[in-house]
Amino acid sequence: MNFRHVAALAGFAAASQLLQAAPAMATSIATDRHSTDLVAQLLGDAKLARLALIRNDTAMATKDIDGAVAARAKLVQIADVNGKSTVVQIYTELDENAALSSNFTAPERVPNQTRAGHIKALETTYFAIDLDKARTRLDAAQRAVRNNDNHSAEASLAAIRSDLVRGNNAVDVPLLAARRELALAQGAIRSDRIGPASADLKDASGSLESYSSVGHSAAAHQLAADIQASMRIHSQSASSMSTKIDGWWASVKAWFSHA
């Protein structure tokens, strides 16, 4: 399957140089999607365990807590492989099963005071889970269940949701839009939906242009141009385009204030 548009190979060299600059980019979205799925599993199992405790079904609660513990252990392995800290970012746009919908309002917004003193809604631009805190909560829940203290176990499990790390930075709002649009484009490419992928990439380029006025000006402007140029390539494989999107995704997420 070919990704067809009208012109020739303008911008191809710039996009290739961008990819070569970060050798780990090729698996970026896949890895982030996998870790996001594991976060969804951890939070989902913790929620199921709480419901089981409310029913006084300690056997099922124990099973669900064990499931959350296993998901956390896998997240630690991913974090270690990638050389990251135990705070793992959550990419809600990569949650294909919408399993996080009960844990996040999309988009979550908080009050923000502008320089002129006006109050406006500011979208949460960063979500993450602290795996050390999650382990503390899960260990406490396991001990409480063994001690027949269902109330304390439920409280510990509920705290996992409260411990999620959040960040709100006005500068990152157009960057978040670009990241989401790149994720949509990648999903469309995977489904052989060329038209939607093209539209999503155009939106991502526009969001990066907006971001270039407030952060990483030259690099963001160049990345927006690279995306536009790649869309004009006459013929290239879906896998080639997918690899490029991975590279753009890696650049975008590295620019976030909390990255």
Mean of pLDDT values over 81-106: 76
Q: What is the pLDDT of residue 78?
A: 86
Torsion over CA: 219, 225, 230, 231 (sign)? positive
* Residue 18 banded pLDDT, cuts 50, 70, 90: very low
Mean of pLDDT values over 135-159: 97
Q: What is the pLDDT of residue 16?
A: 35
Rounded to a whole number, what is the distance in angstroms from the first to the last CA of the chain?
Answer: 35
Q: Is pLDDT larger for residue 203 or for residue 215? A: 203
Which DSSP string do the residues of 43-94 spell out, in sequence order? HHHHHHHHHHHHTT-HHHHHHHHHHHHHHHHHHHHHHHHTT--SEEE--GGG
Asked if residue 114 has pLDDT above 80, the reply is: no
Cα(232)–Cα(161) distance, rounded to whole angstroms?
A: 44
Looking from the CA of 179 toward its CB, the CA atoms found within 13 Å total: 23
**Can you read off the two tokens belonging to residue 79?**
């974090």
Tell the burial category of 31 from Cβ atoms under 10 Å away from its Cβ (0-12, 13-18, 19+): middle
Q: Which pTM does this prediction carry?
A: 0.80
Q: Is pLDDT larger for residue 173 or for residue 111? A: 173
Residues 6+ apart with CB under 8 A from 134: 42, 68, 72, 160, 163
Asked if residue 2 has pLDDT above 90, the reply is: no
* Residue 11 banded pLDDT, cuts 50, 70, 90: very low
Helices 58-81 & 150-162, crossing angle to 10 degrees?
30
**Can you read off the two tokens belonging to residue 23?**
């050798």
Q: What is the pLDDT of residue 241?
A: 86
Mean of pLDDT values over 98-124: 62
**Can you read off the two tokens belonging to residue 60?**
């099922």
Asked if residue 66 has pLDDT above 70, the reply is: yes
Q: Is pLDDT larger for residue 6 or for residue 42? A: 42
Asked if residue 132 has pLDDT above 80, the reply is: yes
Mean of pLDDT values over 24-44: 83
* Conformational region of residue 216, where left means phi above 0, alpha means psi within -120 to 50, and beta covers everything else: left
The mean pLDDT of the chain is 82
